[in-house]
Amino acid sequence: MVPLLWIGAALLGVGGLAAAIDAKDTFSAAKRIGERARRKHENVLSELESLRSEVNSDLENLGKLKISIFKNQIAHLVNVIRKYAPSRSVLKNFQVSISTEEFRKMEQLVLGAFEIEKGLASGVSTGALAAVGAYGSVGMLATASTGTAISGLSGVAATNATLAWFGGGSLAAGGFGMTGGAFALAGVVLGPALAITGFMMSSKADKALTEACEYESDVDIKVAKLDQTKVVLNSLREYTGEMTSALIHLAERFDAIKVSDDRNRNSFEKMVVVGKSLKGLLDIPIMSGDGTPTEGIKSKISGYIEV
Amino acid sequence: MRNFPITLPMKAASTLINAWKECTITRELEETKREGIRAFRDVNVKSIEESSAILKLYLERTFQERAVVIRKMFDHLDKGLADGNMQLASDAMTAIVSVLKHSPLAEARKIISDIRDPNVKMIEI
């Protein structure tokens, strides 16, 4: 009876040793899975960061363009109107009207553009350009013209857009903490492993493998969401490009037809009509201050011209 | 040797058998958990990838359409300015501003939200 028990125990002991060797391989596999997932997450975050920089750069360029148009085309329009149509009633006979209030705001925005440019030259408004590009002219330039510290104007537009897309915060790189990656493998292995049987080691290894799979799964889901954020950011670039292109084209039209006085009423009217539309484009925000998109596309544009 | 207590090897054997049993149960349990985790991952990743594909397609098409409309409106604007037809020019510019005023991302955001909402039976694009 006793020898049989010893033989049985010995066989199980050998099995335990085999399990210990197997556990080592399982631990290695868990570690590989965790590290691979961590690298994948880091790579996607890095790609997303590059894309966000590109979006911010596009918005900065749009901001520069807007400031340039305010300083040149809109300033010209304001000067000519001020000089040749100073009375608040003068413009009402044109097909397009500019109210006194609108005109006052235009003057204010031109001043704001000069203020921002001054700030850029002295380096205090770094970061404001992207905000000018993203949030439309009214808020940013009006703020600048009232003497608000330009340095406080932030250019985190692209970051806000990505955060807003998922309701905020879900982009956070630290979301997984230390659940994965190394996931305290050392602590799992060392200590108990030295003292316990191969079977217990094997159980620990299986649990570690599950943890690694759980981490990998979280990363895969997170990466899929980050990929969706890339689609959003690329569209933001597209929208910024669309706006930039339209502004350039309309500013070119303005330059082609602008006049310096009102001797020719038709030419004067043309300039006012194009100038007012140019100002309308400058006012359009690409996004809200909190990064959410502006109005939806389902607008009524029927009734204008058939395309 | 005769006085060797029989309980000792039995106890040792019992400990090993228990460890082996526990190891086997744990292995099966963990394997089941891993299968569940992978299935959960696959379902979620697939769902997100599908909504991303719809989002991408919607945005691409929308921007293409907008580009056509904007280009044609600029043609109308040029014609209006050249002919002195300020009504045409003004309407063209109003249309350009109107198109650009509306962010395709806002509508896309709603579409994605609808895709995720099981109560939404039909999505109008």
Quick one: pLDDT band at residue A169, thresholds 50, 70, 90? very low
Quick one: pLDDT band at residue A298, thresholds 50, 70, 90? very low
Query: Least CA distance to A136: which residue of chain B?
Result: B101
- Candidate from A137-146, A206-215, B55-64 with smallest mean pLDDT: A137-146
Summarize pLDDT for A170-183 with one digit per residue, the tens: 443 333 333 333 33
Look at residue A168 and tell me whether its pLDDT is greater than 70: no
Surface of B (58-97) touching A: CB under 8 A: 59, 62-63, 66-70, 72-74, 76-78, 81, 84, 86-97
Per-residue model confidence (pLDDT) at position B63:
95
Which H or E run contains B84? none
Residues in A closer than 8 angstroms to B114, CB to CB, are none
Look at residue A276 and tell me whether its pLDDT is greater than 80: yes
Residues in chain B: 125
Nearest-CA neighbor of A113 among A148, A75, A81, A151? Answer: A75
The tokens of A259 are what? 């006049």
Residue from the list B9, B45, B109 with its beta carbon closest to the beta carbon of A5: B9
Residue from the list A231, A270, A287 with its beta carbon closest to the beta carbon of B52: A231
Beta bridge partners of A293: A287
Q: Do B103 and A296 touch (CB under 8 A)?
A: yes
Summarize pLDDT for A215-274 with one digit per residue, the tens: 999 999 999 989 988 998 899 899 999 999 999 999 999 999 999 988 888 888 889 889
pLDDT mean over A34-52 = 91
Residue from the list B16, B26, B38 with its beta carbon closest to the beta carbon of A16: B16
Residue B22 near residue A198 (C-beta atoms within 8 A): no
- 3-class SS shares of chain B: helix, strand, coil, % to 5: 85, 0, 15
Helix A198-257 vs helix B7-83: crossing angle, to nearest 10: 10
Structure ipTM: 0.84
Beta bridge partners of A184: none
Pick the more confident residue, A76 or B123: A76
Q: Do B38 and A213 touch (CB under 8 A)?
A: yes
B43 lies within 8 A of chain A by CB? no
pLDDT mean over A72-101 = 75
Summarize pLDDT for B58-92 with one digit per residue, the tens: 999 999 999 999 999 999 999 999 998 888 999 99
Q: What is the mean pLDDT of chain B?
A: 86
Q: What is the mean pLDDT of chain A?
A: 74
**Alpha-carbon distance A111 to nearest alpha carbon in chain B (angstroms):** 23
DSSP-derived secondary structure letter, B102:
S
Q: Do B55 and A236 touch (CB under 8 A)?
A: no
Q: Do A239 and B96 touch (CB under 8 A)?
A: no
Look at residue B8 and tell me whether its pLDDT is greater than 50: yes
**Alpha-carbon distance A22 to nearest alpha carbon in chain B (angstroms):** 12
Summarize pLDDT for A70-80 with one digit per residue, the tens: 999 999 999 99
> Could you give the CA distance from residue A40 to residue A295 in angstroms, rounded to a whole number?
35
**Alpha-carbon distance B84 to nearest alpha carbon in chain A (angstroms):** 8
B125 lies within 8 A of chain A by CB? no
Residues 6 or more apart whose CB falls under 8 angstroms from that of A86 comprise none
**Alpha-carbon distance A299 to nearest alpha carbon in chain B (angstroms):** 7
Look at residue A193 and tell me whether its pLDDT is greater than 70: no
Per-residue model confidence (pLDDT) at position A289:
60
